[in-house]
Amino acid sequence: MNNVINSLFSGLQSSFSFGDIGVMRILITLAFSFLIGMYIFFIYRKTFSGVMYSRNFGVSLVMLCVVTSFVILPITSNLTLSLGMVGALSIVRFRTAVKDPIDTAYMFWAIAAGITLGAKFFLPALLASLIIGLLMIVLSTFKFRSNAPYLLVLRFEEEASSAVNGMLRRISHVNIKSKTAGPNGVEMTVELRLRENDMQLVDRFMDIPGVIDASVISYGGDIVA
């Protein structure tokens, strides 16, 4: 009876393994990839500084790490399968636009962690992820420029053009994006840099005779100095 049970157990174990890939290795790899993926998700949420936070992107980072480690598992055990897997993956096209360049860094981090875990390099994956996470937190605390980009929208009468242009010349890093003249006056959109506490600029423009309204809008673009 014991021999029958042992033979059944051995057959079941052999059917659920391929090469050096066993059930325990699969479970351990997926568990580590899930934990590191959650760590990447936590760092992403901690250092996020964009306009609209997407929880789905954070969840996709976790699944990207887990799925990548799952794909690498059979590749590391069979050369023929690895060549076929590379050919199959080469036809995949991802067309989702990445809104922030820093999101690309997190995606590569999740993929690199999944590849490392799938190749059984658990300690390098843990240490590298820990160091990268600390670097992300440190870099997110620094502000590499003191002035933030803004859009200044002005609407004024034609007679106030010289005074408005004189005020703009006193501001550094000014770039006129658009100017529209009509029977109701002139509308101008200007790209400029302002300090976060320098919101009195609107009041200074409103003090100019002939200025109808002025507004400052936070701008997510980059200004080349």
Kindly list the structural domains of the chain, giving each domain's residue range(s) and its CATH number in brackets, ordered by start. Answer: 2-141 (no CATH), 148-218 (3.30.70.260)
Whether the full predicted model's pTM is greater than 0.85, yes or no, is: no
Residue 32: what pLDDT?
93
144 and 174 in contact (C-beta within 8 Å)?
Answer: no
Task: Look up residue 147 and give its DSSP letter.
Answer: -
Residue 35: what pLDDT?
95
Cα–Cα distance, 32 to 126 (Å, whole number): 9
Helix axes 101-118, 23-47, angle to 10 degrees: 160
Cα–Cα distance, 162 to 164 (Å, whole number): 6
Mean pLDDT by 10 residues, the chain (225 residues): 58 52 84 94 86 80 90 71 58 63 87 89 92 90 64 86 84 80 84 70 84 78 45
